[in-house]
Amino acid sequence: MNTFHSTRSTDEMLTARQAIRRGLAADGGLYVSDAITEHRIDVASLVGAPYQRIAATVLGALLPDYDEAELAQCIAEAYGEQWSDPAITPLKPLGDDYVLELFNGPTSAFKDVALQMLPRLMSRTATNAKERDERIMILTATSGDTGKAALSGFADVPGTGITVFYPQGKVSPVQKLQMTTQSGSNVTVAAVRGNFDDAQSAVKAIFADHEQARRLADEHHVVLSSANSINIGRLAPQVVYYFAAYCQLVERGDVSVGDGVEFCVPTGNFGDVLAGYYAKMLGLPVKHLIVASDRNKVLFDFLTTGTYDRKRPFYQTISPSMDILVSSNLERMLYYMADRDTRLVNMMMNDLAEEYVFETPTPLLDKIRSLFGCGWADETQVREAIGSCWNDHHYVIDPHTACGYFVMQRIPRDPATPRVLLSTASPYKFPRAVSESLGLDTTGTDFTCMDTLAKATGTTAPKALRDLEWASERFDTVIDIDHMGELVSRAAAHL
Ligand SMILES: *Cc1c(COP(=O)(O)O)cnc(C)c1O
């Protein structure tokens, strides 16, 4: 069962539970398991099964020390009535291609798939008396989507609490309201005077503050943890929807079990697309994974040149959840692609930390490129893609999905290989940018834009988003960066 270790060393072997509880390895590496390729999931046996049964099979393979009954309970809670579609991640035709909708969860972003599950896995990680006595406080700095999805996932989950910091004035009005109206007795939300990077750095500093950690443990029995996508408990639930997509293609009669499929994935931290690689390692016939970036195209440059270079300007775009210069989950892909060579991964990650750049040996790059394609879209192309997708298919996409749509259109289509575009957010999360792209009138508030968009396209805004206009805000705290640690202590005292 102790099959998890850091991408940078095999000195310490952990169970899935321990890896989820810790989040990140002490040496800075990410937890990986060498047992993954020992499992081959029998895809044929899942065709026609509900999402929940596919989840039980895939999560059972990836997190072997959770027993069947525990997983079944987590899955029933995570993928229940809070989803607006019984298929959880429905697959829909889009011209000659397909779109996999990942945004039908409670916060209308794909992060719900993972963040409805992670808290349930996390609250079952205590394995001894000391841990059973502890409560876990999740700390998150957010540029928008993650904060709300994490709040929604952790709200009122026993044994846990969550504190979210967002940069004041730097998230959209809808995103701000989504967070400040969050219910739950274990949640805290605060705006921070500064930008996202400031807030993120301060959260990292709190994690590194051993003195504060000791005080929280002694005085309140609270340990800090992260809901960031480096946690293996966040990655594993995302592997499920690749299987679910494939099964839906088979059910439609559009592929036979064993046929290759290509997935095009809007990418930031490399979590979503990495889950596709995990699905392949578990036996799903994934032919190619296309990494789609926005103007922050560090992954495109890496996949075309073999050099990962974070010394570059950062662009704030209309696809904020993909505005990332350090794609943390890439490290896991490098580990498996480099035949589990922890020393090589260590070297590359040291170079990245110290020189802000690393190089990939050519044979490794060739191997990576045989599976991972890439492309990127600038903001003009994103807006045009939203327009052309609507004109050609009468399907409305958000700016993140539009990056993927643009990239997919540019790649020559092999008629023998079905292509699936992963759609990561509801267009109603970004009603202004989407309405502008469709040439609609955008005077008024974001809620006016939602109504305009609904009327023009014959679609409906998710109720939870539209109702924010009348929801009452619970949190109006605005603090300086220097006071974030203090706020965490106060929140911990009330857990
Ligand atoms: C987080 C996010 C992404 C990027 O996903 P990664 O796992 O970070 O690659 C894309 N689109 C939306 C809407 C997101 O919230």
Range of the domain at 258: 91-108+233-470
Q: How far is the CA of 229 from the centre of ligand 1 (A)?
A: 10
Q: Which residues line ligand 1 (CB under 6 A)?
A: 109-111, 145, 229, 266-272, 321-322, 400, 424-425
Token digits of residue 75: 């899955």
Q: How far is the CA of 208 from the centre of ligand 1 (A)?
A: 26
Please classify residue 416 by burial: count the beta carbons closer than 10 Å to its beta carbon, then call 0-12 exposed, 13-18 middle and 19+ buried: exposed
Q: Which of 322, 331, 401 to mutate to test the pocket of ligand 1 (most atoms within 8 A of CB)?
A: 322
Which ligand 1 atom is nearest residue 238's CA? 7
Report if residue 126 sits inside a domain. no
pLDDT at 229: 82
Catalytic residue among 92, 111, 130, 297: 111
Q: How far is the CA of 447 from the centre of ligand 1 (A)?
A: 23
Domain count, the chain: 1
Q: How far is the CA of 216 from the centre of ligand 1 (A)?
A: 32
Is 111 annotated in the active site?
Answer: yes
Which ligand 1 atom is nearest residue 273's CA? 9
Report if residue 178 sits inside a domain. no
Report if residue 102 sits inside a domain. yes
d(CA 148, CA 112): 9
CATH code of residue 102: 3.40.50.1100
pLDDT at 227: 85
Q: In what order do the strands lie in the sheet with 9-14?
A: 9-14, 4-6, 31-33
Which ligand 1 atom is nearest residue 398's CA? 13
Q: How far is the CA of 83 from the centre of ligand 1 (A)?
A: 19
Report if residue 406 sits inside a domain. yes
Q: What is the pTM of this model?
A: 0.96
Q: Distance between the two ends of the chain, CA-based, in angstroms?
A: 32
d(CA 464, CA 26): 39
Q: How far is the CA of 320 from the centre of ligand 1 (A)?
A: 9
Report if residue 245 sits inside a domain. yes
Which ligand 1 atom is nearest residue 425's CA? 13
Which ligand 1 atom is nearest residue 149's CA? 15
Report if residue 138 sits inside a domain. no
Q: Which of 171, 321, 429 to mutate to test the pocket of ligand 1 (most atoms within 8 A of CB)?
A: 321
Give me the phi and psi of 35, to 5 degrees please: -80, -10
Which ligand 1 atom is nearest residue 111's CA? 15
Q: What is the mean pLDDT of each run of 10 residues along the chain (495 residues)?
A: 94 95 89 92 98 98 96 97 97 98 96 96 91 92 88 94 93 91 96 87 87 94 88 97 98 97 96 98 98 97 97 91 90 98 97 96 98 98 98 98 98 95 97 97 96 98 96 95 95 92
Q: Which of 111, 317, 382 to mutate to test the pocket of ligand 1 (most atoms within 8 A of CB)?
A: 111
Q: Which of 143, 235, 241, 267 to mutate to test the pocket of ligand 1 (most atoms within 8 A of CB)?
A: 267
Q: How far is the CA of 493 from the centre of ligand 1 (A)?
A: 33
Nearest CA to ligand 1 atom 2: 321
Report if residue 25 sits inside a domain. no
Nearest CA to ligand 1 atom 14: 321
pLDDT at 37: 87
pLDDT at 393: 98
